[in-house]
């Protein structure tokens, strides 16, 4: 194999490893969660890099075999990624500012194929490249009483989430890390 093929093979292994890492390990870092959390695209990239690396092989039949398999795997990864994106896409519903450096992020997504929506709440601690985000709660409105109504800060390290029927869910934050000590969920 040529030096170019070895470099492409190493890049393919790195892209495949990164795809597996982001698929199986959920990170608290906002940089990783929002910008590198694309395992299917990284998997497709790994397949295409493998096909490009195979172009330097001596045996023609092996080049064709690896190219066809890599193309099929890349197509499958992109298709599965598009289907996953269609069913897990979220849209921003706003932020609730809290004591610096915290704020609560609100996101909505469809709940399956029905008319229901799911409200996702997460707590973000801003810190530049080391900003962190943790799940705070999830509320599905398939039962109208369980629909998310509001969230408010009740202190420097506590949050209260309210649903449509008036029930409240107090959430305390860890004083050292800022991570929520519990999460609230209804119908998720």
Work out the widest C-alpha separation in the chain, in whole angstroms: 71
Domain ranges, residue 139 = 91-186
149 and 171 assigned to the same domain: yes
78 and 147 assigned to the same domain: no
Counting the structural domains of the chain, the total is 2
Q: What is the pLDDT of residue 81?
A: 87
Where is the domain boundary, 54, 88, 122?
A: 88
Q: What is the mean pLDDT of residues 89-107?
A: 87
- Could you write out the DSSP letters of every residue in 42-61? HHHHHHHHHHHHHTT-S-HH
Give the pLDDT confidence of 124-151 residue by residue, as tens digits: 988 888 888 898 999 988 888 888 889 9
Global pTM? 0.70
Alpha-carbon span 143 to 188, nearest angstrom: 12
Nearest by Cα to 180 from 116, 128, 102? 102
Q: Residue 117 pLDDT > 90, yes or no?
A: no
Q: What is the pLDDT of residue 113?
A: 65
Report phi then psi at 52, rounded to 5.
Answer: -65, -40
Where is the domain boundary, 73, 88, 103?
A: 88
Where is the domain boundary, 44, 62, 88?
A: 88
* Coil/strand/helix, residue 64: helix
């Amino acid at each position: 194999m040529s030096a170019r093929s070895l470099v492409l093979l190493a890049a393919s292994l790195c892209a495949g490893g990164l795809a597996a890492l982001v698929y199986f390990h959920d990170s608290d870092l906002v940089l990783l969660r929002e910008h590198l959390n694309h395992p299917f695209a990284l998997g497709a990239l790994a397949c295409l890099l493998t096909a490009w690396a195979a172009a330097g092989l001596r045996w023609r039949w092996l080049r064709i075999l690896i190219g066809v398999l890599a193309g099929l795997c890349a197509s499958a990864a992109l298709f599965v990624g598009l289907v996953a994106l269609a069913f897990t896409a979220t849209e921003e519903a706003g932020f609730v500012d809290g004591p610096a450096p915290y704020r609560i992020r609100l996101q909505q997504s469809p709940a399956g194929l029905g008319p229901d929506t799911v409200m996702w709440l997460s707590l973000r601690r801003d810190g530049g490249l080391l900003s962190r985000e943790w799940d705070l709660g999830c509320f599905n409105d398939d039962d109208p009483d369980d629909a998310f109504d509001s969230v408010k800060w009740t202190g420097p390290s506590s949050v209260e989430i309210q649903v449509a029927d008036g029930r409240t869910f107090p959430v305390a934050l860890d004083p050292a890390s800022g991570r929520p000590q519990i999460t609230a969920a209804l119908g998720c």
